């Protein structure tokens, strides 16, 4: 029987699920578009894994990402961790002496700085679209180019075309202007890749010292044009590990492995969760001035948890035996 640890990264754009063996090797990796329906994305992923992995083979499971608490409830996570920690743990597994982690996803981006295997600083961008994958997706669609081909086209560039990258609106306007001037498509696309890299560094690296080795994670790391843009600006190689687009999920699996060693068992609910019905309802609590919007979470019409109350008044009423840890 295999020893398998699951990691689930529930984000606004994608839900990523990995299965790792006891040697920390990824044996299954799923990238699923969340499309505003995280519960459905989780169920779809576990429906896919159901025929490949037995419940008894799963020794631990961890969740991360913006939907980590929801995912933790559904799956019976042994550990729920923030994205910074998950990405840091995964990066160190691949490059033990990594110093700088560049992570760019669909809706946000992160910069994580590490020294002697310890995260000592980080920054996040959740506001400016020009530094995220959604902007690249939008421009690829506008140009009529498959997103998978954008990076290779950028590598054909022979002339430097600078695209304004401070703002997504200005960047798009500048691209259109450069097209009207007659610049080649590959030069404009390369300029776009360099604009995203500059935007990222201008927003997240202010006042910080970036040291090699550099590692690039997140969905945008699969765009070779942006990898080369970072290498040009930083003056150092930028490493893109295998499964770079699901590194958050890998980190969650590795953290779950260590947590289960301490507690001695897993709380994993099994792959049959893909057949369950989950619902979320809410109400406004008027017991104090906070007026929290309390979430009631149901599995197969049974109330299993209440969340989002600052004082714990409602969450303490259910799930008293829940051993899930949060961070």
Query: Is 187 contained in some domain?
Result: yes
Confidence of residue 318 (pLDDT cuts 50, 70, 90): low
pLDDT band, very low/low/confident/very high, at 304 (cuts 50, 70, 90): confident
Q: What are 25-60's pLDDT values in tens digits?
A: 999 999 998 888 999 999 999 999 999 999 999 999
Looking at the structure of the chain, the number of domains it has is 3
Using the predicted structure, report yes or no on whether residue 327 has a pLDDT greater than 80.
Answer: no
The answer as to whether 286 is a domain residue is yes
* Residue 108 confidence (pLDDT): 82
Lowest-confidence region among 96-105, 111-120, 126-135, 245-254? 126-135
Q: How far apart are the first and last CA of the chain?
A: 31
Greatest alpha-carbon span in the chain: 66
Range with the lowest mean pLDDT among 186-190, 220-224, 321-325? 321-325
Minimum mean pLDDT range among 124-138, 187-201, 266-280: 124-138
DSSP single-letter state for residue 127: S
Question: Going by C-beta distance under 8 Å and a sequence separation of 6 or more, which residues neighbour residue 236?
Answer: 212, 213, 214
Note the pLDDT tens digit of each residue in 14-28. 899 999 999 999 999
Buried/exposed 57-88: b ≥16 CB within 10 Å, e otherwise? ebbbbbbbbbbbbbbbbbbbbbbbbbbbbbbb
Same domain, yes or no, for 193 and 287? no
Same domain assignment for residues 264 and 283: no
Q: Is the pLDDT of residue 62 over 90?
A: yes
Q: Is 92 inside any structural domain?
A: no
Does residue 318 share a domain with residue 216? no
**Residue 107 lies inside a defined structural domain of this protein:** yes
Q: How far apart are CA 88 and CA 118, in angstroms?
A: 8
Its pTM stands at: 0.87
Residue 80 lies in domain: 4-86+248-274
Q: CATH number of the domain at 152, please.
A: 3.30.420.40
- Residue 91 resides in a domain: no
Is residue 285, in this structure, part of any structural domain at all?
yes
Chain-wide mean pLDDT for the chain? 88
Report if residue 50 sits inside a domain: yes
Q: What is the pLDDT of residue 320?
A: 47
Same domain, 193 and 296: no
Contacts of 133 (CB under 8 A, 6+ apart): 13, 104, 105, 106, 107, 218, 219, 220
Q: pLDDT (tens digit, 9 = 90+) per residue, 171-193? A: 777 777 777 777 888 888 888 88
Are 125 and 218 part of one and the same domain?
yes
Residue 43: count other Cβ atoms within 10 Å of its Cβ.
20
Q: Given this model, what pLDDT does residue 326 score?
A: 46
Is 191 inside any structural domain? yes
């Amino acid at each position: 029987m295999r020893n398998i640890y699951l990691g689930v990264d529930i984000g606004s754009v994608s839900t990523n699920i990995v299965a790792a063996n006891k040697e920390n090797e990824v044996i299954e990796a799923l990238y699923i578009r969340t499309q505003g329906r995280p519960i459905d994305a989780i169920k779809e992923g576990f429906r896919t894994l159901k025929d490949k992995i037995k419940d008894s083979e799963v020794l631990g499971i961890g969740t991360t990402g913006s939907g980590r608490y929801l995912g933790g409830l559904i799956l019976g996570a042994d550990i729920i961790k923030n994205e910074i920690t998950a990405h840091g743990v995964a990066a160190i597994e691949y490059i033990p002496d990594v110093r700088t982690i560049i992570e760019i996803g669909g809706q946000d981006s992160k910069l994580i700085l590490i020294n002697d295997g310890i995260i000592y600083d980080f920054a996040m961008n959740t506001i400016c679209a020009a530094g995220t994958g959604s902007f690249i997706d939008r421009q690829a669609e506008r140009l009529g180019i498959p997103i998978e081909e954008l990076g290779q086209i950028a590598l054909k560039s022979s002339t430097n075309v600078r695209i304004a990258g401070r703002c997504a609106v200005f960047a798009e306007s500048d691209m259109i202007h450069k097209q009207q001037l007659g610049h080649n498509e590959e030069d404009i696309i390369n300029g776009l890749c360099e604009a995203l890299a500059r935007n990222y560094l201008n927003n997240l690296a202010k006042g910080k010292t970036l040291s090699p080795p550099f590692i690039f994670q997140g969905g945008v790391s699969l765009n070779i044009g942006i990898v080369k843009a970072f290498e040009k600006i930083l003056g150092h190689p930028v490493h893109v590990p295998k499964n770079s687009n699901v590194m958050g999920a890998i980190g969650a699996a590795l953290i779950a492995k260590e947590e289960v060693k301490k507690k001695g068992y897993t709380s994993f609910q099994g792959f049959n969760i893909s057949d369950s019905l989950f619902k979320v309802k809410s109400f406004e609590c008027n017991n104090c001035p906070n007026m929290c919007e309390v979430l009631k979470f149901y599995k197969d019409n049974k109330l299993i948890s209440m969340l989002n109350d600052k004082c714990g008044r409602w969450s303490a009423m259910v799930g008293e035996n829940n051993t899930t840890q949060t961070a």
